[in-house]
Chain A
């Protein structure tokens, strides 16, 4: 009952002109932030932070969480339209989303992404409202051993990502893991493998590398096959903006539900984050799907799973922030700053002393999801038009956008070079039939694996990876996830 009273307090707190306006503005800006490569959710939230100084605390936080939420959706739009994840969390969406676009059905992918993002966001918020205290305990119990095992679990997804050539997938992922060791050592104050280049002393900037691997790599590859592409384009002049029918969504309700919950839980673990959640959700959807062979070839489930996990992770990431005052991700670190600026101390006290703010955030998240859905519906028609424009007109613009996006992050020309280098790398990999997604997975997980492995070895001993229950469970899951594609193949071969 108390929770209903609190929710009502929250509802009252935000039912004023300014907070509602902030939701609309926040969602709109958030989608734009997501769409532009280079602007990740955390950068978007950070950029808007100064604009909130003169707002009241509720409106300020409502604006920032709306941006955070909807930028996670916005990233999927470019992932689907041009194979460029607008945010790191949208990498897994490219696997099937862009395939659908290539088949002339971007409407299906965009619609699925929007619906599953919205549902994922709502489920994440509901879990945040109802279970934040017990989930915070889970998060609190994650030590370096568990983080390491989670990282290993994330890596095993390659066996199902790599498709018909797992060896090349593994090589690509090890390449990512090795490249991410460049830069500041995790325990001693010195930089490894920098060749004396000062810009590398903090490692390769992730987002330019990501943009290069996906946007530039794809463009180089398709320009090489331009004559073929042109024919295809002519044959399918009409890109369909048609949304999937409702029945279709109902058929994968389980995938969306499961992925949203997974996203929320993994999102609630500080430092793990939404991006890892999207990969794990994608993998688990593939493993439990009736048509796993469609994954990577334009499966709607393959779009729904990462997108619902990604937006579910927003609610999750707010759990440690609000209950423990611990930011779990780059975006929530900025939100913590916003709380501090408005003199709010996150923690259990905040829930009891200022329920209007905490529950105001909760209610605004629900509203922001709904607003996001409507803006998304309007936007989808527009995106399909852009997709239908001739490639020779769109490609140069995407290249220029990739460069300015890379430049923007640190105001650095070096990052523009990183983007180009990774673009060339992706092109070489693609034309030799190597998948590029595992490189990204390696780049994402490498730091987490190394940092926590080494921290664990300093703290304790190797055996603790196997004696701690959550860590052991994750390692067993890793084994299962790693071998499941092969076991399945073996079983189906035997059945035949």
Chain B
């Protein structure tokens, strides 16, 4: 009775709102079986404003304006690991035709080099939408005015001429290698990580040539395109010659397009091909291609898939030439991993025991320094597993970690010795409520799995109520209001406003 008395009208409202939220989430109305019946999501592997992103947004824009599809196409950006994050994300989704991936040619080399679980075979390519030719770009304020100058200079420098661009083993890097081969020169590739950093370096004259796309010079007065690797001149850049005109058969471009998971129904792919063909003929699309200096070449499923087969072979050859198709890390024996983990766990256990029973002879500083030394050695062991070919123009990837490892060990040893000389901790920090903290940590680990299994919306209410209980907060209406209220608040902010799908749980979905 007391329980019911304490519940007031606000609490009731919150409970009601929470219940209807759960109802809304878990009890979906019958979904229409006709494809498409809800928005199609295009996953983009880079941040908003990048080349692929702009293309995907343009496509979605044209489809919406011209009603090429009955449903909207929305863009979602998932960046990380050169696209692998986005690819994995699409593969984790149902193959129901509602999740598309915006793809670029760069994925081919990325997947070959990265050795992730994802493979190019996991996808079915719907179409290529446009071809963005590669270009070699120089700084206007140098003596390099044309292709001949570059060749002469390269021969004079005998392999020391510097070419730059973003990424090692990426499209631009491979274009550089291909160009050197065609021109019969030798040069040095330096990876400046990102396009903007490479452009900056070129502006500073740190390099002779930057390998990129024609769009990179937009708004930058002191950069000049020497040649583009396309069969014909670009309409928007009529003065810029192609390699072909200069006497070199060199075509290299970055195509961009769209793909599904390979399991997607052929009927859906047919539908998508129809929609995208319409887009590819739209005047607005053609104008957009002109603006970004790209060629609006449309290739449907069969054609692009065939092209990719050829390109995989070619990419493989050039990656081998760049000496980039190697395993850089040896697989470590399982026993060593187990030993490492056992040592770690026993150190952690020791720390917790010492903490719990206030064993003062083993003070925390000693334990912490031991943990750090273990961590450093663990990292060190992994650096010994690197196998880096010695003839690459790079510094050893183990060099900097090794620096930090040495420092960490040295400093931890000093700390340990200092702690030895001071066996009794004068003041033990926080000798209080360890049990509550450990309980909450266990609760949080449990919460982590509960989210995966029964979903965010139920798990979070339980978590908040449970922690309040541990912290001796016992006013039931307030517990209900704050836990359910928080879930409703986060639903509004994250799902409704920010369009992030919160996990609904494997058991209940």
Contact = CB atoms under 8 A, between A and B. Distances in A.
Contacts of B190: 455, 458-459
Given A170-B411, A226-B471, A428-B351, A420 B49 contact: no
Interface string B479-490: 000110010001
Contacts of B502: 404, 407
A444 interface: no
B11 interface: no
Contact of A454 (B167, B351, B364, B394): B394
B66 interface: no
Contacts of A401: 486, 490
Contact of B397 (A188, A393, A395, A446): A188
A223 B365 contact: no
Nearest to B112: A189
Contacts of A202: 80-81, 85
A253 to B, nearest CB: 35
Contacts of B187: none
Interface stretch (A108-116, A283-291, A430-438): A430-438
B460 to A, nearest CB: 5
A181 B364 CA distance: 27
A420 B444 contact: yes
Given A178-B376, A224-B430, A411-B500, A396 B467 contact: yes
A113 to B, nearest CB: 23
Given A334-B49, A413-B451, A433-B429, A454 B204 contact: no
Contacts of B77: 46
B392 to A, nearest CB: 7
B501 A187 contact: no
B407 A391 contact: no
A171 to B, nearest CB: 5
Nearest to B162: A459
B169 to A, nearest CB: 4
Interface stretch (B16-24, B215-223, B230-238): B215-223
A487 interface: no
B321 interface: no
B484 to A, nearest CB: 12
Interface in A117-172: 140-141, 143, 167-168, 170-171
Contact of B49 (A220, A338, A449, A454): A338
Contacts of B155: none
Contacts of B365: 432
Contacts of B329: 190, 192
Contacts of A271: 197
Contact of A413 (B434, B483, B503): B503
B430 A431 contact: yes
B429 A337 contact: no
B201 to A, nearest CB: 8
Nearest to A141: B204
Interface residues of A, number: 100
B342 interface: no
B482 A393 contact: yes
A463 interface: no
A223 B324 contact: no
A413 B448 contact: yes
Contact of B448 (A201, A350, A417, A451): A417
A140 B114 CA distance: 33
Contact of B368 (A178, A411, A428, A454): A428
Contacts of B452: 413
A407 B451 CA distance: 11
Contacts of A225: 430, 432-433
Contact of B81 (A184, A324, A459): A184
A267 interface: no
Contacts, number: 273
B362 interface: no
A325 interface: yes
Contact of A178 (B191, B401, B436): B401
A484 to B, nearest CB: 21
B47 A408 contact: no
A174 B220 contact: no
Given A201-B116, A413-B448, A432-B368, A400 B49 contact: no
A118 B17 CA distance: 39
Interface string A289-311: 00000000000000000000000
A392 interface: yes
B7 interface: no
A446 to B, nearest CB: 8
Contacts of A411: 78, 89, 500-501
A427 B437 contact: yes
Interface stretch (A7-15, A47-55, A92-100, A257-265): A47-55
Contacts of B447: 403
Contacts of B324: 188-189
B493 interface: yes
Contact of B486 (A175, A178, A343, A397): A397
Nearest to A47: B498
Contact of B463 (A195, A392, A400, A450): A400
B291 interface: yes
Contact of A143 (B89, B204, B395): B204
A177 B404 contact: yes
A315 B460 CA distance: 40
A225 B199 CA distance: 53
A143 B202 CA distance: 11
A337 B54 contact: yes
B48 interface: yes
B60 to A, nearest CB: 10
B382 interface: yes
A178 B372 CA distance: 11
B314 interface: no
A174 B386 CA distance: 22
Nearest to A434: B368
B463 to A, nearest CB: 6
B360 interface: no
A434 B408 CA distance: 14
B252 interface: no
Interface stretch (B121-129, B146-154, B412-420): B412-420
B168 A189 contact: yes
Given A143-B204, A143-B206, A171-B412, A201 B84 contact: yes
A395 B469 CA distance: 12
A245 interface: no
Contact of B415 (A168, A324, A451): A168
Given A411-B500, A458-B395, A223 B218 contact: no
A457 B117 CA distance: 33
A177 B201 CA distance: 26
Contact of A455 (B192, B355, B473): B192
| Residue among A140, A187, A336, A430 with most chain B CB within 10 A | A187
Given A201-B116, A454-B400, 14 more contacts: A167-B411, A170-B411, A171-B369, A188-B324, A190-B115, A224-B430, A324-B200, A336-B49, A341-B57, A393-B482, A395-B467, A451-B193, A454-B394, A454-B395
- Give the 3 A-B residue pairs with the shortest CB-CB distance, closest first: A337-B49, A345-B219, A347-B219
Interface of A: 36, 46-47, 49-50, 53, 140-141, 143, 167-168, 170-171, 174-175, 177-178, 181, 184-193, 195, 198, 201-202, 220-221, 223-228, 270-271, 324-327, 330, 333-334, 336-338, 340-341, 343, 345-350, 390-393, 395-397, 399-401, 403-404, 407-408, 410-411, 413, 416-417, 420, 424, 427-434, 446, 449-451, 453-455, 457-459
10 contacts: A175-B375, A187-B395, A192-B329, A198-B117, A334-B49, A340-B54, A432-B367, A434-B368, A454-B395, A458-B394
